[in-house]
Structure formats: structure tokens, C-alpha cells
């Protein structure tokens, strides 16, 4: 009987040991899964951070008066082979659609505060910024990477009247688009014209800032809409309206 009891206890201990091993294996597997998930979240978070570029804070005390900027504004189509700075790009984007107070008001007025405009940057030669296509966020005053690589020459590779498109030689291009559904809020009325009006005001803000910075730019509306839409990755309902190449005056 004693022998049988001892054998039974030994069997029970072995069974408990096997159960503990299985529990331990499951626990280790669970821990491994948790660690892998945490690593994936960390990588994803780092990827999101790397896809966002913080811009220098814009200045609100420029060097010249509004009157002087209006007087000196010209359409410039010839640029030096020199880079723009990230500070200059920051200032230009802010001038077009930057936020100016805690209520979300912007540098450019908007009907019913609908803000249907979006602003994109094609960076070709900007110091401190990789060449690529970026979307400007007014509230965060930052850029989100859409794609990397200089797309300026690719977008403007076609010729104009037998000549190479001068826009292909600009170090940066700012594109203003409109999301029309944001403005059509009044039943029975088509208010899409306001999108074009607001594009004009935003573009003029940018052009005056260009003068203040001693740069050159031109408002252009002749471009390949399909190629531009593809370059920016625009969703249906968002249309490119204005293209503004910017650079240092030659």
C-alpha cells in the first residue's frame, strides 16, 4: 500500500509538473506576443513621427510695409540655382493659410469659416528638408510627407510652346487645392465660386510674403490637372487650383 501511495504521489507530481510546464510555455508565448505588439506600435509611432516635419515658428514682424510689398510685387519666372531655407518655406506656407489665433482664424478669410483650401509643398531644393511632396497642416504648422523624391521636374517636364517649362527649374512649388464640399452648405445655392475667391486671397498673401522675403514667384493656373492630382495623391472632390513656383530671383 505504501508503495502504491508513493507511486501515486510521484505520478501526481509529474502531472503537476507537466501542467506547470504547459502554463509556463503559454505565459512565455503571451509575453512574447505582448513584446512583439509593443515593438510594432513603437515602430509605427516612430514611422508616424518621421512622416511629420515641424516648421520654424513664423514671424509677424516682417521687414517691409504692405504698401512696399504691393508696389514691388512682380511675376518672376527665372530663378537662381540656389536653395530656399526651411524658415522661408515656413513663412510662405503660413502666409497662405496659417492660423493666427486660438479660435482658428487664418491669414486668409473664408466664407462661413469653412476653410475649403489645402496647401501642398513640392520641395526640390530646400535646405533642411528632403526633396518630396508635403501637405501643410495650418493648426500644427507642420508638414506631412506624401512622397519623397523631387517631383517638380517630373510634374513640369512637358514643354510650353516648344520650350522647357520654366517651373521645372524652381527649388520649390506651392500648390493650393480646394475641397468644394466644405463650402456648399446652403441648400439650393452653389457656393463653389467662393473656393476660387479664397484661392486668390491666399495666393496674394503668399505673393506679398515672397516680396517681403526678397524672393520671386508667379501665380500660374495652367497645368496638367490629372498629373498634379496624381502627384499630390488627391482624393475625389479635391481639385488643384493654383500653382506657385518660388525661388531666388535670377
- DSSP, collapsed to helix, strand or coil, labels residue 129 as strand
Q: What's the confidence (pLDDT) of residue 189?
A: 84
Angle between helices 193-212 and 86-97 (to 10 degrees): 140
* C-alpha cell, 124: 526640390
Q: What's the confidence (pLDDT) of residue 40?
A: 43
Higher pLDDT among residues 133 and 9, named by residue: 133
pTM flag (> 0.85) = no
Nearest to 166, CA basis, from 52, 46, 76: 76
* C-alpha cell, 194: 467662393
Q: What's the confidence (pLDDT) of residue 42?
A: 39
Banded pLDDT at 50 (limits 50, 70, 90): low
The Cβ-side half-sphere exposure at 26, using a 13 Å CA radius, reads 6
Task: Name the strand (E) or helix (H) holding 30.
Answer: helix 2-50
Q: What's the confidence (pLDDT) of residue 87?
A: 98
**For residue 208, pLDDT beyond 70:** yes
Q: What are 117-153's pLDDT values in tens digits?
A: 999 999 999 999 999 999 999 999 999 999 999 999 9
Q: Are 174 and 206 in contact (CB under 8 A)?
A: yes
Q: Are 171 and 83 in contact (CB under 8 A)?
A: yes
The residue-averaged pLDDT of 107-117 equals 95
Q: What's the confidence (pLDDT) of residue 33?
A: 47
The rounded mean pLDDT for the chain is 85
Query: Which among 29-43, 50-64, 208-222 has the top mean pLDDT?
Result: 208-222
Q: What are 78-91's pLDDT values in tens digits?
A: 999 999 999 999 99
Amino acid at each position: 500500500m505504501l508503495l502504491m501511495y508513493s507511486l501515486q504521489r510521484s505520478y501526481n507530481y509529474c502531472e503537476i509538473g507537466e501542467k506547470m510546464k504547459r502554463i509556463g510555455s503559454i505565459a512565455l508565448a503571451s509575453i512574447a506576443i505582448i513584446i512583439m505588439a509593443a515593438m510594432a506600435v513603437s515602430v509605427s509611432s516612430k514611422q508616424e513621427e518621421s512622416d511629420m516635419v515641424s516648421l520654424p515658428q513664423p514671424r509677424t514682424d516682417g521687414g517691409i510695409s504692405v504698401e512696399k510689398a504691393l508696389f514691388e510685387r512682380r511675376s518672376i519666372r527665372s530663378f537662381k540655382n540656389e536653395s530656399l531655407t526651411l524658415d522661408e518655406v515656413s513663412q510662405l506656407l503660413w502666409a497662405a493659410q496659417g492660423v493666427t489665433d486660438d479660435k482658428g482664424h487664418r491669414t486668409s478669410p473664408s466664407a462661413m469659416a469653412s476653410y475649403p483650401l489645402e496647401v501642398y509643398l513640392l520641395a526640390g531644393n530646400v535646405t533642411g528638408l528632403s526633396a518630396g511632396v508635403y501637405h501643410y497642416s495650418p493648426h500644427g504648422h507642420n508638414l506631412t510627407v506624401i512622397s519623397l523624391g523631387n517631383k517638380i521636374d517630373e510634374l513640369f517636364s512637358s514643354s510650353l510652346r516648344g520650350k522647357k517649362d520654366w517651373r521645372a527649374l524652381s527649388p520649390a512649388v506651392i500648390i493650393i487645392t480646394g475641397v468644394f464640399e466644405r463650402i456648399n452648405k446652403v441648400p439650393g445655392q452653389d457656393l463653389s465660386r467662393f473656393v476660387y475667391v479664397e484661392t486668390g486671397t491666399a495666393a496674394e498673401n503668399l505673393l506679398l510674403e515672397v516680396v517681403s522675403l526678397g524672393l520671386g514667384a508667379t501665380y500660374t493656373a495652367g497645368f496638367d490637372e490629372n498629373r498634379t492630382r496624381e502627384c499630390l495623391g488627391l482624393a475625389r472632390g479635391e481639385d488643384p487650383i493654383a500653382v506657385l513656383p518660388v525661388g531666388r530671383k535670377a
